[in-house]
């Protein structure tokens, strides 16, 4: 497959996915796109490492309620390709972070261009023309599509020149240092946000066990995930057994079981 055709197909798929996101069907995640990019380059391990790191960066950077943020999804795609070509995951992450910040500008441009289609839809509704309104509404997805198609297409054509981006970062030491700090801090913020959603008051023993397994026993992430699923299964089974025993005790005593109609 030629480079141009490959760039076109990848850019088209990326643009279509982003349109579905705009329509409310969310398949847009750095980890997923990193995984797919890893399959394309023939190294799923690199894809998962870059995708997972970009996912944590995005989580730490996310502006809840905001409209525009760095696009670590596109950054994950290019980061995987650069990491594979250079053999250095850290260099891939630097490029991923830089391009994610650049993609924020494309996002603003794409969102701003939809204003034209929104006004066209307003005029169609004023005329009570539902068919025209539907056409304007569907046409409004074009800027969203092009906002991802164009940079991915151009970027993939010149992916062999990724060193240009790396050299640009090298020339601006302050930019490199800034990206390094962001790249190190955002995953930590992402983990902190995840922990804030967890009920650590009741489940802190599980967190400590997971930390010990990872930090001191070298259990990989997949192993930790399997252990976590097993622990969750045991916990749910224990709760279910306790509920069954409570119902049986209530039935034997002739009282209504707690939480099942009893007062």
User: CB neighbours of 128 closer than 8 A, spacing ≥ 6?
Assistant: none
Alpha carbon separation from 15 to 11, 28, 54, 236 (Å, rounded): 6, 11, 19, 41
Quick one: 174 and 203 in the same domain? no
Last residue of a domain, one of 132, 151, 184: 184
194 in any annotated domain:
no
Q: Distance between CA 26 and CA 18 in Å, rounded?
A: 8
Say whether pLDDT at 246 is over 70: yes
Quick one: 206 and 180 in the same domain? no
- Asked if 127 and 135 touch (Cβ cutoff 8 Å), the reply is no
Q: Distance between CA 248 and CA 167 in Å, rounded?
A: 71
Residue given tokens 């976590």 in the structure block: 228
Residue (of 21, 2, 9) closest to 141 by Cα position? 21
Last residue of a domain, one of 149, 184, 219: 184
The structural domain count of the chain equals 2
Last residue of a domain, one of 124, 153, 184: 184
Report angle CA 9, 85, 147 to the nearest 5 degrees: 35
Q: Distance between CA 72 and CA 29 in Å, rounded?
A: 8
Quick one: 45 and 145 in the same domain? yes
The range of the structural domain enclosing residue 235 comes to: 199-253
70 in any annotated domain:
yes
pLDDT, tens only, 203-225 = 888 888 888 988 888 888 778 88
pLDDT at 262: 47
Quick one: 96 and 152 in the same domain? yes
pLDDT, tens only, 116-172 = 888 888 888 888 888 888 888 888 888 878 878 888 888 777 777 666 666 665 565
249 in any annotated domain:
yes
Quick one: 26 and 135 in the same domain? yes
Quick one: 179 and 204 in the same domain? no
Q: How confident is residue 64, by pLDDT bands cut at 50, 70 and 90?
A: very low
Quick one: 139 and 236 in the same domain? no
pLDDT at 185: 62
260 in any annotated domain:
no
Winning range, highest mean pLDDT, from 3-7, 15-19, 150-154, 209-213? 209-213
pLDDT at 25: 61
52 in any annotated domain:
yes
């Amino acid at each position: 497959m030629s480079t141009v055709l490959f760039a076109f197909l990848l850019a088209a798929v990326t643009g279509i996915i982003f349109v579905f996101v705009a329509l409310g069907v969310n398949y847009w995640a750095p980890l997923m796109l990193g995984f797919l990019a890893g399959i394309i380059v023939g190294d799923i391990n690199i894809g998962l490492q870059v995708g997972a790191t970009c996912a944590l960066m995005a989580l730490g950077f996310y502006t809840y309620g905001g409209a525009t943020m760095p696009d670590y999804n596109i950054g994950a795609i290019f980061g995987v390709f650069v990491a594979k070509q250079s053999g250095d995951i850290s260099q891939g992450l630097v490029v991923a972070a830089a391009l994610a910040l650049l993609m924020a500008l494309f996002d603003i441009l794409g969102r701003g261009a939809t204003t034209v289609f929104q006004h066209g839809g307003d005029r169609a509704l004023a005329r009570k023309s539902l068919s025209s309104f539907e056409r304007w509404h569907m046409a409004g997805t074009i800027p969203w599509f092009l906002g991802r198609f164009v940079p991915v297409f151009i970027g993939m054509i010149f992916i062999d020149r990724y060193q240009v981006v790396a050299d640009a970062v090298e020339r601006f030491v302050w930019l490199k240092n800034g990206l390094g700090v962001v790249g190190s801090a955002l995953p930590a913020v992402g983990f902190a946000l995840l922990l804030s959603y967890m009920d650590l008051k009741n489940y802190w023993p599980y967190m400590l066990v997971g930390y010990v397994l990872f930090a001191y026993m070298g259990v990989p992430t997949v192993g930790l995930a399997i252990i976590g699923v097993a622990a969750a299964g045991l916990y749910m089974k224990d709760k279910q057994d306790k509920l069954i025993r409570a119902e049986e005790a209530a039935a034997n005593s002739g009282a209504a079981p707690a939480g099942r109609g009893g007062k």
